[in-house]
Amino acid sequence: MGAKRIGILTGGGDVPGLNSVIKTVVYRGSEIGCEVIGIRRGWEGLTHVNLQDPASRTRYVLPLNRENTRTIDRTGGTILHSSRTNPSKMKKLPPVLEGQDFPKSETTKNGVTSTVWDVSKAVLRNIQLLNLDYLIAIGGDDTLSYAAALDKVGMKVIAVPKTIDNDVRNTEYCIGFSTAITRAMDAIERQRTTVGSHERIGLFRVFGRDAGYTALYTAYVTSTRCCIPEFKVDLQSLIDMLVTEKAHNPSNYSLAILSEGAEWEGYQVKEYGDPDAFGHRKKMSVAEDLSNEIRAKTGEDTIVSDLTYDLRSGSADFVDRMVASTFAGMALDAIDEGKHGLMTAISDGCFSLVGIPDPKLGPRKVDVESMYNKERYRPRYDHKIGIPIFLTRA
Ligand code: F6P
């Protein structure tokens, strides 16, 4: 084992299972003689830290050991905290870097041009001062896009994919996805009685700004209709189906699940607030908009249930703990073998190490033809023999 000090950080939205990765890295690391240093608050930990200042050091650096990670896998979230920080496109220099010279460029998003700084030089300096040989970055496509960039400029990085959206390229599975679907499934099965008691059309909104996996797989296991960003449904057909299904249901209700980024023909989901470090603004509720359309067009009563953050909450299920611990073990094996620039993944249903996805390709999308019934607005259940366990190929 050449590498002795491993940094680990979590970026982007939290998911259940992150703490299992952290704990297993620490435990496995201690068995093969590695120190593990927690970098707190994602990439912010490497852009904002002032290593000379004890308070800043405490805020951003947490040495990990078996004692302080022993029980962390029992809860969701991340003990290291998280942030959406993009060191290659900082809109403002952190106080510790003010007055220093960094490459800057202009970016234009939605017609607004702003200056951004690439502070990778400071990130590398902090990594050097912390004496880190390796970095394990756990994140979704945004966080991992910087992991790929950092590896290219000389830091040895292993990426671990997590997101309840399951939309990181080059892997069929991201930590958090199974727990999110289990949570959504439980909530929907519970809420059927309240929707039915009031004879309503129930609309459930789940996360998934670019990809519809979360809505689609929840629909798959609850036998429900869904709308996903990859396919624009016809509004009138959708409403007709929901009204007809309600009338045929002895309990007089019907349900649909909507990805936050789902749209119908002629409709664009509205956004609000400032863009985050990766250019994303929050989306208004497509479910509320659909609810208004249904009420106006049919007079039917509707109810909207926003499941979004609840799907990220609570402790990880069996699948996420298993995948998280396995990805952690794989990351340590990779480090032990001197590999870097790679991501732990599931490919063709098997655990594997793959390239960190090219950020230019954007998030992975649902294959509409094989997975979505474009006439019935439902998941497809046919032709699954030979398909990997998570029903998709990356
Ligand atoms: O990035 C994953 C995700 O689930 C997106 O689909 C969603 O827009 C986002 O998280 C919301 O998270 P937050 O409000 O914490 O930024």
Q: Which residues are catalytic?
A: 165
Measured CA to CA, the distance from residue 302 to residue 323 in angstroms comes to: 38
pLDDT above 70 for 2: no
pLDDT in tens, 324-368: 999 999 999 999 999 999 999 999 999 999 999 998 999 999 999
Give the global pTM. 0.96
Query: In this predicted structure, what is the pLDDT of residue 107?
Result: 81
Query: In this predicted structure, what is the pLDDT of residue 336?
Result: 94
The predicted model gives 127-153 an average pLDDT of 96
Q: How confident is the model at residue 114 (pLDDT cuts 50, 70, 90)?
A: confident
Ligand 1 within 6 A of CB of 143: no
- Residue of the CA atom closest to atom 6 of ligand 1: 208
The predicted model gives 75-87 an average pLDDT of 97
pLDDT above 70 covers a percentage of the chain that reads 99
Query: In this predicted structure, what is the pLDDT of residue 108?
Result: 78
Pocket test for ligand 1, best of 214, 260, 270 (most atoms within 8 A of CB): 260
Helices H / strands E in the chain, number of each: 12, 17
pLDDT in tens, 43-72: 999 999 999 999 999 999 999 999 999 999
- Atom number, ligand 1, closest to the C-alpha of residue 280: 8
- Atom number, ligand 1, closest to the C-alpha of residue 140: 1
| Integer CA distances (angstroms), 156 to 62, 87, 176, 360, in order | 20, 17, 25, 21
Q: How confident is the model at residue 381 (pLDDT cuts 50, 70, 90)?
A: very high
Measured CA to CA, the distance from residue 348 to residue 173 in angstroms comes to: 10
- Atom number, ligand 1, closest to the C-alpha of residue 12: 1
For residue 343, how many C-alpha atoms fall within 13 Å in the half-sphere facing its CB? 32
- Residue of the CA atom closest to atom 16 of ligand 1: 13
Q: For residues 229 and 261, is the Cβ–Cβ distance under 8 A?
A: yes
Q: For residues 99 and 119, is the Cβ–Cβ distance under 8 A?
A: no
DSSP per position, 20-46: HHHHHHHHHHHHTT-EEEEETTTTHHH
Ligand 1 within 6 A of CB of 140: yes
pLDDT in tens, 15-28: 999 999 999 999 99
Q: How confident is the model at residue 3 (pLDDT cuts 50, 70, 90)?
A: low
What separation in Å is there between the alpha carbon of 277 and the centre of ligand 1?
Answer: 13
At residue 225, what is the residue type?
R
pLDDT in tens, 181-235: 999 999 999 999 999 999 999 999 999 999 999 999 999 999 999 999 999 999 9
Query: In this predicted structure, what is the pLDDT of residue 222?
Result: 98
Q: Indicate left, alpha or beta for 266 from its phi (over 0: left) and psi (-120 to 50: alpha).
A: left
Q: At what angle do helices 213-222 and 177-197 cross, to 10 degrees?
A: 60
The mean predicted confidence, pLDDT, of the chain is 96
Pocket test for ligand 1, best of 143, 165, 179 (most atoms within 8 A of CB): 165
Q: Give Cβ neighbours of residue 260 (< 8 Å, ≥ 6 apart).
A: 205, 206, 207, 208, 209, 269, 283, 285, 286, 308
Q: How confident is the model at residue 1 (pLDDT cuts 50, 70, 90)?
A: low
pLDDT in tens, 261-304: 999 999 999 999 988 888 899 999 999 999 999 999 999 999 99
